[in-house]
Amino acid sequence: MKKIYDIKSGHYVYAVNEDESSEQSNNDSQAADKAAEAAEKQHELNAQTQEKISKLDTEKSLYVKKYQQTKSSIESQYGTNISTQQGLMATANAAVASAVDSAEKAKATSQVLDIRKKIAEIELKKAQDIQKTELEYAQNLYKIEIAKIQVLADANASTVAEKWDRIPEKYRNVLNESNIHLAKIYLKTLVNNDDEDSIMKDMRDVIRVFKDSQLVYGKDKTGHYVICIDQDDFNKLYATLQNAGYMRDDIFAVVMPQVLDRSSMIDSTQNQTTI
């Protein structure tokens, strides 16, 4: 890429020769292939995860159906028994009321008390059976929910691990999820889609500029960034941006405030790094 002066516009512009254009096209194609491969893996992972979740949901539905049937059967069985005993009690109460002497009345009263005891025992057994059913139901639902959470956690871990494995070992030995933000140098105004003369306007341009830099770069919600953990990374960052056409002062204006704003730098020896 060459920087030439355009008489009509009165500005310097960047001209891409045919070889560079072809190389960029190949690089863009390779990047697109990698992105498609990553998307396909993610799609496959999502499909596998959804299949496992669906099986667990089906298992849950079976437990719900079994629980409802068991509880209904308990209610019906003990309801019939209690109704039978209440009928016997009504007969026994009538016998008490119609007794003509104390012996007959005592005998009928004893029957009433026996029936009341049976009803109490039936109601206790019903409560115990229902409680057992409720506990088993709750335990099964808990196991299924934990299994679903584990499936989702495994899928998330696989996604994170796959992305992390793409990072060179140099960075994986130093960085982790809690400190990687300290190593991000955001390109900020160096990537400007609103300026037609900007060397980098979007992620495609970032890939084009940094593809051979041996640096790790990307984009998050804050913006486009490059990972720098030691002096060698910063040297490569400056050289790459200068080779792309940026002035060193413009690079410093973006990079240095971010370096100075850090409480500490990260390098492979865990010592401070200077620029």
The whole-model pTM stands at 0.46
Digit-coded pLDDT (tens) for 223-271: 999 999 888 999 999 999 999 999 999 999 999 999 886 644 444 444 4
Report which listed range, 31-35, 76-80, 95-99, is most confident: 76-80
pLDDT at residue 12 in the model: 47
pLDDT of residue 38: 58
> Strands 224-227 and 184-186: what pairing?
antiparallel
Between CA 255 and CA 237 the distance in angstroms is: 10
- All residues at 6 or more sequence positions from 10 whose CB lies less than 8 Å from its CB, including other chains: none
Close Cβ partners of 5 (under 8 Å, ≥ 6 residues apart): 11, 12, 13
Distances (CA, A) of 168 to 164, 174, 213, 214, 215: 9, 11, 13, 9, 9
Coil, helix or strand for 267?
coil
Neighbour tally for 33: CB within 10 Å:
10
User: Are the C-beta atoms of residues 217 and 225 closer than 8 Å to each other?
Assistant: yes
pLDDT band at 185 (very low <50, low <70, confident <90, very high): very high
In the chain, domain spans: 46-165, 169-275
